[in-house]
Amino acid sequence: MNMSVITDTIAPHGGTLINRIVTEEQKAEFLAQADSLPKVQLDKRATSDLVMIAIGGFSPISGFMGEADYQGVVDDMRMADGTVWSVPVTLSVSEEVAAPLKEGSLIRLDNPEGKFIGVLELTEKYTYNKTHEAVNVYRTDEDKHPGVKVVYEQGAVNLAGPVWLLEREAHLLFPTYQIDPAASRAIFRDKGWRTVVGFQTRNPIHRAHEYIIKCALEIVDGLFLHPLVGATKSDDIPADVRMRCYEIMMENYFPQDRVILAINPSAMRYAGPREAIFHALIRKNYGCTHFIVGRDHAGVGDYYGTYDAQEIFSQFKPEELGITPLKFEHAFYCTRTEQMATAKTSPATKEERIHLSGTKVRAMLREGKTPPPQFSRPKVAEELAKAMSGQG
């Protein structure tokens, strides 16, 4: 598969955009073996990971990680060949499930609903140290951290090997926004965008987000607004509500010819600094040249320092990452200048700064309050309030 024609903005991580979606002939062969293959049922996160591998979102990864890559990523944020990668991508099963599976065989992968969606070419089975992974990747061994909780609850054995996705199905809720890496790269090329900034979010865009996005838009050709719609925490705003808010922002507050809205099908890890690197590399694969890293990127609770997710980028040479982080300070509404600002641009005292966060917005909505215009654009606030009151 020749991808060279659509790599105008930036090369994928590792140099080649992975494609692990089967041909019609391969699909027919796999389906013919459906009842004879040993079966592993994936959870939501593993299903998202399978899709992200198959569409090239996790390039250069072509399957679930073997032990050498896993250990390298957990210990040093590098795969066995030295390629930078910050979050392990593994398929964990119980010892009972793993025991009869033979290395060198094909494994049928079913989604949480029991549908046959993929195949694993099993090359390796290995056990791993969950606490070691938790402390290195998430910087804590506390199971109240949502990412650590997932690690502790998953199986004790990792299955490794290349994967195949049987079919790239349209997203049930957002089919028109399902723009995979090969397609996003083609769009950027067709628009003539040489520089594209990616923005990761799991929350509706509030005014602080809008401010840093527009600052970034001043220096690049286009914006790739790329909200995550894979598995998130139960108290995060539901994906369908968030998407309506992004649509409102697109229609009213952004230059439509300079913004592409697309969904990111991967699952949140809440791994803070390591996930900032992970999110940047994913956007590089989608064709972004720049990536916004704001306050406490991908953080949860008080596990990470305010700007740890920005500082981690300095651990790598720019050419190793191949995507430029745009680091923004915490934006606030300045009552003195009556506009959004940061400490770099505002003379405001502490009392003149109205700080915004997704957590504050969620708390206000739960209390039945509509976020003020300094927090959220009124049309967005109305949509959130309607949805959270059960009327949406």
Contacts of 175 (CB under 8 A, 6+ apart): none
**Under 8 Å between Cβ of 361 and 373:** no
Tell me whether residue 202 is one of the annotated catalytic residues: yes
Contacts of 319 (CB under 8 A, 6+ apart): none
Of 17, 90, 29, 2, give the one whose Cα is nearest residue 59.
17
Does an H or E element contain 57, and which? none
Using CA atoms, how far residue 335 sits from 221, 338, 351, 352, in Å, is: 31, 5, 9, 5
What's the rounded Cα separation, in Å, for the pair 270 and 298? 5
Using CA atoms, how far residue 87 sits from 266, 269, 278, in Å, is: 12, 9, 6
Of 294, 318, 286, give the one whose Cα is nearest residue 222.
286
What's the rounded Cα separation, in Å, for the pair 259 and 49? 26
Tell me whether residue 129 is one of the annotated catalytic residues: no
What's the rounded Cα separation, in Å, for the pair 384 and 16? 40
Using CA atoms, how far residue 348 sits from 309, 332, 344, in Å, is: 26, 10, 10
Using CA atoms, how far residue 180 sits from 24, 89, 366, in Å, is: 19, 19, 34
Please name the residue ranges forming H helices in the chain: 24-32, 44-55, 67-76, 95-98, 130-133, 146-153, 181-191, 207-217, 239-252, 273-286, 308-311, 318-321, 358-366, 378-388
**Under 8 Å between Cβ of 321 and 277:** yes
Of 160, 184, 194, give the one whose Cα is nearest residue 65.
160
Among 111, 203, 264, 285, which one carries the catalytic annotation?
Answer: 203
Among 108, 185, 202, 207, which one carries the catalytic annotation?
Answer: 202
Residues with catalytic function:
202-203
